[in-house]
Amino acid sequence: MKYNRLLLCIAVIAYFLMQADALPSTITKDEFPGSFGPFSVTSQKEIDADNSIDEVNVTGVWSLDLLGKPREKMKLHLIQNEDLIRGQGVITGRNESKKATANGSLSGWKLSLTVVPVGVSNIYKLNLSLTSLTAGNYVVHQADGLSRSGKVTFAVSTNIFKHASAVDEWDI
């Protein structure tokens, strides 16, 4: 009797082990309506199209920390028109603040900005990755011909993934 139970247990375990190597079930929603709940099957192409770059609008107030030496901060009010970016703001560093203008473009998930302080011949080139939402790098071309570079972190005061038509007007 003990051997019969043992043999039955081994057979059941073997059955389950064979099922582990089986192909996935082909149950469809039509065979069992209501069993799948409110879910739907979507292809990766449709998912990528839904999360497209067309939904990004960088209009808003950007706070940037330049982590090189010397450390500097920027606060920029940016406005997007299609893939072109314009704005103005302030660069703060070494106990002084300078007004600045910004121009740039959006290409894919990359925001490229050129920021020029008013009255100073330095040019700041920033490349920001919108996929990380916080990081990028920069190069400053100085009036004396030298350049310096470093990492930049940033924060945005608005939802940059809001559709462009949903962005309200705002004051600078």
Give domain limits for the chain.
2-50, 55-165
DSSP string of 45-95, one letter each residue: HHHHHHT-GGG----EEEEEEE-SSS-EEEEEEEEEETTEEEEEEEEEETT
User: Rounded distance, CA 123 to CA 94, Å?
Assistant: 17
Nearest Cα to 106, choosing from 143, 79, 73?
79
pLDDT (mean) for 8-30 = 66
Residue 21 has pLDDT above 50, yes or no: yes
pLDDT at 87: 96
pLDDT at 172: 42
pLDDT at 8: 79
Structure tokens at 12: 């059941």
pLDDT (mean) for 54-77 = 89
Are 145 and 56 spatial neighbours (Cβ–Cβ below 8 Å)? no
pLDDT at 80: 92
Least confident of 94-103, 121-130, 155-164: 155-164
User: Rounded distance, CA 157 to CA 107, Å?
Assistant: 21
pLDDT at 168: 47
User: Rounded distance, CA 111 to CA 68, Å?
Assistant: 20
Q: Which residue has the higher pLDDT, 86 or 45?
A: 86
Are 35 and 117 spatial neighbours (Cβ–Cβ below 8 Å)? no
Average confidence score pLDDT of the chain: 79
pLDDT band for 42, please (50, 70, 90 cuts): low
Least confident of 37-46, 62-71, 95-104: 37-46
DSSP type of residue 23: P
Structure tokens at 79: 């406005």
CA distances to 41, 53, 121 from 60, in Å: 35, 17, 26
Rounded (5°) CA angle 134-140-142:
165
pLDDT (mean) for 74-94 = 94
CATH architecture under which domain 55-165 falls: Beta Barrel (2.40)
